[in-house]
Chain A
């Protein structure tokens, strides 16, 4: 028998050693390495695409901060306090973002990961397991924040007399900041897990994260940071920054980090106290986290296995409402529609995104409502030109919304897709049901965005009607592209629907959707110019102009029809040929 004489095993170790933590991290590293080794052409392409988009975004961030810092540098008496405040805000922003990200990530890495059942059932000390998971959590939750803080700090370095000293100070400040945010965030998750069942914690955290982002967006937007670029409003800026200052800020690790960064930027020796506080707090929170893990990690892990039915989501009122809304539809379509709507309202990871959408609409319209008061006196031409360009912006917002709600709709079927695939529903029926489900909310959204912003701009009736009709067509195109490309790049295995939107397919969709909007705008530019020119001169449109307008608008319709038909057809083919 193969099992008769097992080799004598090493004695089992129960203590917490760095070696044990590293040993627990080896499988993660090996999986990462093997994935990289077995990467196919599409994976390489995906990697390059992500790198390219990341680089462009990084350059954009760098450019924005660099320009802002140069501006600030022009106003001698304000430069120091303003720079201080920008650095303080950046550090606080990084700390809170890292904290929020960790709280959500820790839930997966420390409590819900598939390999945990194997590890928890083996004789590994729980602090060692917790320590290894803390490292994974830190890597997963912080890599993006750290990566995008590089262009920000690079902008500070390039506008500083001692760039290298500043970068050194940034490294010394950022590292403990990450550790503190991760350790504290992870402790918060541990406590929540020990008290509530996992599913509730997950929904609660996702909702809190969404609310947090909404609040952050509102706070930043309502303060009108664009005034930074306007020297005439410099007095208001000091008020703006004063509002950000709170008495307790000096107790936050971000303020210690800011002290280091300011000293680095001024080429001064780094102050000892903030440095010591940062690193000792990082060490203390890590130790505290391990101590807490010893006490409550197992309790939390055990509770993570529990599940309770959701109460709110099965409220008869909600259900009756959904039933009533879908009653007029054909039985097959109605079944799919009801299933999608029920899944949506019962999944906090999905409906909480509506809060972000709401914030987006409010901020979008707010931007138009706070246009300079003298804008209404701007020329007729400029007003209508802005209205036309606003179409592009609305199209981009629609694409951003669609990548989250429409592009993901096919993949959202998840591993249960076999049900649809083995049923007599055709792939076309399935995809068109997704299409028609997405159309009504997006048409309402696009119409609100366009008509309200045109109202704030004071655009003419012609431009308002043209914008409304164009955005209606564009909505169909964007939804067609979304459902079709979602079917071309399906991803049925996921932990969270947002992962699908952030995939390479999602990126390609964003590129395709914005290109489509650009093509529509390009085609409409000629008729809009002809109309505005005639109106400006007070002359009627010539027959030739009407022909050109009719021709280009027909082209717009054809492009929209193609944007719906082509991806839907390609998606249906891809999905029909797909093996699951």
Chain B
């Protein structure tokens, strides 16, 4: 469903992402991890069509993002880490706007919006302007917006930022159920226990290169660690031992 072929991105002489190749099949919840500055957000922005790759290509639902951007983006739902929205619209109007630019209209859209606002627990503020929302409420609204057109592929950058425990649990449930119905989710996160709990497979990127990719068992073998702990694996693979030791001392 998501296919990255030798994807690369350079900023001047700095190579943020280096020949990244990856395939995420339908129905999989893929976790994308990496230390700060590893190239996670750059990769996600390239998948969402916000950044142009220096080389390589992105295929979403079988459509090349560069050659068939409209078809590829129609299959995509994107949730950024910072929810910049149209502050002067109400929650309801915002979701109708999103539905509209994806070509949806009418009663079907209205009932879908109602369901989504119910799901993210924003029904009681549906008529209020977004400018009065907290960060967490905006984040939940972006989540709802990403589901309006029922995309085949959902790309999420840091889903847990700004969410309260209840919101976080809701998101985990929704993500899992969405994948179980054959949709694909590509999620970048620093919350390792969430990744461990939710993801079918995990990829770890460092210095722009995919240094490990697989299920928890495969990662454990790759890192040669004992015990089923993603934090342990992550720190070992990203050379985090020194940091941990200094913390303990």
Which residues of A does B touch, CB under 8 Å? 1-2, 199, 307-310, 313-314, 331-332, 334-336, 338-339, 342-343, 346-347, 414-416, 418-426, 577, 579-580
Q: Which residue of A lies closest to B100 (CB)?
A: A335
Distance in angstroms between the alpha carbons of A580 and B76 in the assembled complex: 17
Contact with A along B92-129 (1 / 0, CB 8 A): 01001111111111000000000000000000000111
* Candidates B80, B85, B86, B102; contact of A424 at CB < 8 Å: B102
Distance in angstroms between the alpha carbons of A414 and B50 in the assembled complex: 15
**What are 25 A-B pairs at a CB distance below 8 A?**
A199-B131, A307-B132, A309-B128, A314-B129, A331-B100, A332-B100, A332-B101, A332-B103, A336-B100, A336-B101, A338-B93, A343-B88, A416-B86, A418-B48, A419-B98, A419-B145, A423-B98, A423-B102, A424-B103, A426-B69, A579-B45, A579-B50, A580-B45, A580-B50, A580-B51
Distance in angstroms between the alpha carbons of A1 and B132 in the assembled complex: 42
8 A Cβ contacts from B157-194 to A: none
B70 to chain A: which residues have CB within 8 Å? Answer: 424, 426
**Closest chain B CB from A202 CB (angstroms):** 11
B246 to chain A: which residues have CB within 8 Å? Answer: 1-2
B49 is an interface residue with CB less than 8 A from chain A = yes
Distance in angstroms between the alpha carbons of A334 and B104 in the assembled complex: 11
8 A Cβ contacts from B64-99 to A: 69-71, 73-74, 76, 78, 80, 84-86, 88-90, 93, 96-99
Distance in angstroms between the alpha carbons of A337 and B224 in the assembled complex: 57
Whether B88 contacts A422 by the Cβ 8 Å rule is no
- The number of residues on chain B lying at the interface, defined by a beta carbon within 8 Å of a beta carbon of chain A, is 40
Whether B97 contacts A422 by the Cβ 8 Å rule is no
Distance in angstroms between the alpha carbons of A347 and B132 in the assembled complex: 14
A343 to chain B: which residues have CB within 8 Å? Answer: 86, 88-89
B207 is an interface residue with CB less than 8 A from chain A = no
Known: A309-B129, A313-B129. A334 touches B89 (CB 8 A): no
Known: A335-B97, A423-B73. A314 touches B102 (CB 8 A): no
Counting from the closest, the 5 A-B pairs by CB-CB distance are A335-B100, A415-B84, A424-B73, A346-B88, A424-B74
Distance in angstroms between the alpha carbons of A199 and B87 in the assembled complex: 12
Q: Of A1, A414, A577, A579, which is in contact with the most chain B CB atoms at under 10 Å from its CB?
A: A579
Distance in angstroms between the alpha carbons of A481 and B89 in the assembled complex: 28
Distance in angstroms between the alpha carbons of A429 and B166 in the assembled complex: 39
Q: Of B78, B246, B247, which is in contact with the most chain A CB atoms at under 10 Å from its CB?
A: B78
Query: Given A338-B93, A424-B70, 5 more contacts at CB 8 Å?
Result: A307-B132, A309-B129, A309-B131, A421-B49, A579-B45
Whether A577 contacts B48 by the Cβ 8 Å rule is no
Whether A313 contacts B132 by the Cβ 8 Å rule is no
Q: Which residue of A lies closest to B249 (CB)?
A: A1
**Closest chain A CB from B182 CB (angstroms):** 21
Distance in angstroms between the alpha carbons of A322 and B226 in the assembled complex: 63
Distance in angstroms between the alpha carbons of A175 and B89 in the assembled complex: 44
B196 to chain A: which residues have CB within 8 Å? Answer: none
Q: Which residue of A lies closest to B74 (CB)?
A: A424
A415 to chain B: which residues have CB within 8 Å? Answer: 84
Distance in angstroms between the alpha carbons of A334 and B99 in the assembled complex: 11
**Closest chain A CB from B51 CB (angstroms):** 5
A1 to chain B: which residues have CB within 8 Å? Answer: 246-247, 249
**Closest chain B CB from A494 CB (angstroms):** 13
**Closest chain B CB from A422 CB (angstroms):** 4
8 A Cβ contacts from B45-63 to A: 45, 48-52
Distance in angstroms between the alpha carbons of A414 and B132 in the assembled complex: 18
Q: Which residue of B lies closest to A332 (CB)?
A: B101
Distance in angstroms between the alpha carbons of A421 and B78 in the assembled complex: 11
Judged by DSSP, the binding face of A is: helix
B102 to chain A: which residues have CB within 8 Å? Answer: 423-424
Distance in angstroms between the alpha carbons of A342 and B85 in the assembled complex: 14
**Closest chain B CB from A413 CB (angstroms):** 8
Whether B88 contacts A309 by the Cβ 8 Å rule is no
Whether B101 contacts A420 by the Cβ 8 Å rule is yes
Distance in angstroms between the alpha carbons of A424 and B98 in the assembled complex: 11
B88 to chain A: which residues have CB within 8 Å? Answer: 313, 342-343, 346-347
Whether B90 contacts A338 by the Cβ 8 Å rule is no
Whether B100 contacts A422 by the Cβ 8 Å rule is no
**Closest chain A CB from B157 CB (angstroms):** 11
Known: A314-B90, A343-B88. A422 touches B49 (CB 8 A): yes
A307 to chain B: which residues have CB within 8 Å? Answer: 131-132
A338 to chain B: which residues have CB within 8 Å? Answer: 93, 97, 100
**Closest chain B CB from A324 CB (angstroms):** 15
**Closest chain B CB from A189 CB (angstroms):** 21
B131 to chain A: which residues have CB within 8 Å? Answer: 199, 307, 309
Q: Which residue of A lies closest to B77 (CB)?
A: A422
**Closest chain A CB from B248 CB (angstroms):** 10
Distance in angstroms between the alpha carbons of A313 and B74 in the assembled complex: 32
Q: Which residue of A lies closest to B142 (CB)?
A: A419
Whether B101 contacts A335 by the Cβ 8 Å rule is yes
Distance in angstroms between the alpha carbons of A579 and B42 in the assembled complex: 10
Whether B132 contacts A342 by the Cβ 8 Å rule is no
Distance in angstroms between the alpha carbons of A347 and B131 in the assembled complex: 11
Known: A414-B84, A418-B84. A309 touches B73 (CB 8 A): no
B80 to chain A: which residues have CB within 8 Å? Answer: 418
Distance in angstroms between the alpha carbons of A347 and B105 in the assembled complex: 26
A580 to chain B: which residues have CB within 8 Å? Answer: 45, 50-51
A579 to chain B: which residues have CB within 8 Å? Answer: 45, 50-52
Whether B103 contacts A331 by the Cβ 8 Å rule is yes
Q: Which residue of B lies closest to A344 (CB)?
A: B88
**Closest chain B CB from A254 CB (angstroms):** 39
A423 to chain B: which residues have CB within 8 Å? Answer: 73, 98, 101-102
Distance in angstroms between the alpha carbons of A371 and B78 in the assembled complex: 60
Q: Which residue of B lies closest to A346 (CB)?
A: B88
Distance in angstroms between the alpha carbons of A540 and B193 in the assembled complex: 89
Distance in angstroms between the alpha carbons of A343 and B131 in the assembled complex: 12
A335 to chain B: which residues have CB within 8 Å? Answer: 96-97, 99-101
Distance in angstroms between the alpha carbons of A309 and B127 in the assembled complex: 10
Distance in angstroms between the alpha carbons of A414 and B85 in the assembled complex: 9
Q: Which residue of A lies closest to B79 (CB)?
A: A422
Whether B69 contacts A310 by the Cβ 8 Å rule is no
Distance in angstroms between the alpha carbons of A2 and B48 in the assembled complex: 40
Known: A1-B246, A307-B132, A332-B100. A422 touches B76 (CB 8 A): yes
Known: A1-B246, A418-B84, A426-B69. A342 touches B89 (CB 8 A): yes
**Closest chain A CB from B225 CB (angstroms):** 25
Distance in angstroms between the alpha carbons of A422 and B73 in the assembled complex: 7
**Closest chain B CB from A575 CB (angstroms):** 12
Whether A334 contacts B51 by the Cβ 8 Å rule is no
Whether B49 contacts A339 by the Cβ 8 Å rule is no
**Closest chain A CB from B244 CB (angstroms):** 13
A309 to chain B: which residues have CB within 8 Å? Answer: 128-129, 131-132
Q: Which residue of A lies closest to B146 (CB)?
A: A422
Known: A199-B131, A424-B70. A339 touches B50 (CB 8 A): no
